[in-house]
Structure 1
């Protein structure tokens, strides 16, 4: 296995395997119902395989490869891919701390090689110091103190990857007014500014400001969204909606969010100018 492959998680291999199976099926002009009949399962299960949500056992994989007529080195490569996908994922720092509905987002975020995000209301979770996150969660009366502490631990566990080996490249677009919201009071604001300066020193972490003076900009009116790019496989977008969120994997819709981010990035302040603006907060 190459050095770059060692950086991949089982989730990455599942996605790549799923895309390979989908490509083989579509090249032969078969619908999902054909594979469902072959494996005596539902079309929904075939969908989960092709999206990379689940691993494929050796028996089912062999049946599909036989059906597709895949032989030789290509077959060996696919079988190796499936073996990597079936490996147990390393334990995360947050697995037991979050509701099931957020697992897919955090797993995708954890395995992403590039993370790009726009947040019109709050700093992204990867940019929040603990004191800022605590002040945000304190405003949620539905959470117990224990729940708040658990969620704070989640945020810190997510951020640990930024300072470990092989960190992802992160690019955040922050509207100016988000920096000027006095969440938690002067001490929190001061700590948050210090934290953002620390992040700005990382080569792989970039945050840039969209000035209020711009008025209308390409991302205006969008809710918080995060574009996740894995080492292999297709990009996805996570869009926050209230206390929940949705995953978008359709290529055309993902491309729309990517265009929005790119256009907004083109008019955002530079890293240096963003730091100077931070000094005025």
Structure 2
């Protein structure tokens, strides 16, 4: 059964794109829209990017400003506005999850395809709790309560994404990820064993980019490609940085990352050879 993208974040993206289309069709500036809603220009941009929800009253005011008379269009916009204000399942973790990460969690929960490239650590979706604990604690400003909550969130994400009707997950790991002793020998070895276990699933493919392939794009720059089957939900590339994140949605740029990942998969070891590689590194520990 194909996954249906129906989460709050995906609906916010749909609503934002429609509001942008209607605004541009009406030849209304972002500045004028912000005046009507009595908000900042940045808020309008964030609404149109799906980063924040749109209140029903604001949606009505924008439809009036854009002179939208078509009943079907008005109904569709208002229905989306009603549903985008619903809180995501991650709300209880809101105090330790920045807004930019909440957007990603929402998208991750509705994607049908995840393509992950990592050069430093195992991606969060495949981390054991002990490994995740060691990674999270590299943020020396995090209090014990925050660390515990972030660990619970990560476990919840894993259960939701990899549980019933999961997306197809393709992962390419730089060999350095296998050899970096995150959390010490025991935690490191357990994490490698977990990669072998999860990599045996039909919906997960793990490949290793060995040192022997030399320089390759995007050397040292991890990224996650989220794919959606519905044409109303364009694919997006997520890049996390120390102080936030980047969301790449322009079709030409997204295709560029798709090509990069395709090349990585071609140059990396096969899934079978990667399994042997992971097992070999485990024996060295």
Pairs aligned (count): 276
TM-score normalised to the size of structure 1?
A: 0.83
Counterpart position of 2:191 = 192
Q: How does 1:218-233 map to 2 (within 5 A)?
A: 218-220=217-219, 222-229=220-227, 232-233=232-233
Q: Which runs of 5+ in 2 are unaligned?
A: none
Q: How does 1:1-281 map to 2 (within 5 A)?
A: 7-66=5-64, 67-92=66-91, 94-99=93-98, 102-137=101-136, 141-220=140-219, 222-229=220-227, 232-241=232-241, 243-251=242-250, 252-281=252-281
Bigger Cα displacement from structure 2, 228-237 vs 11-20: 228-237
- Contact kept, 8 Å, 2:170 with 2:205, in 1: the verdict is yes
Distance 2:16 2:248 in 1: 13
Question: 1:11-34 CA distances to partner (integer Å, 9 max, x unpaired)?
Answer: 111110110111122234432223
Q: 1:47–1:99: structure 2 CA closer, same or farther, 3 Å change rule? A: closer
**8 Å contact 1:119–1:173 — kept in the other structure?**
yes
| CA shift in 2, pair 1:190/1:99, >3 Å | same
Contact 2:3 2:166 (8 Å CA) reproduced: no
CA RMSD between the two structures: 2.8
Quick one: distance in 2 between partners of 1:211 and 1:244? Answer: 29
Q: Can you give the 5+ residue segments of structure 1 that lack an aligned partner in the other structure?
A: none
CA distance in 2, matches of 1:88, 1:147: 21
Q: Distance in 1 between matches of 2:90 and 2:239?
A: 26
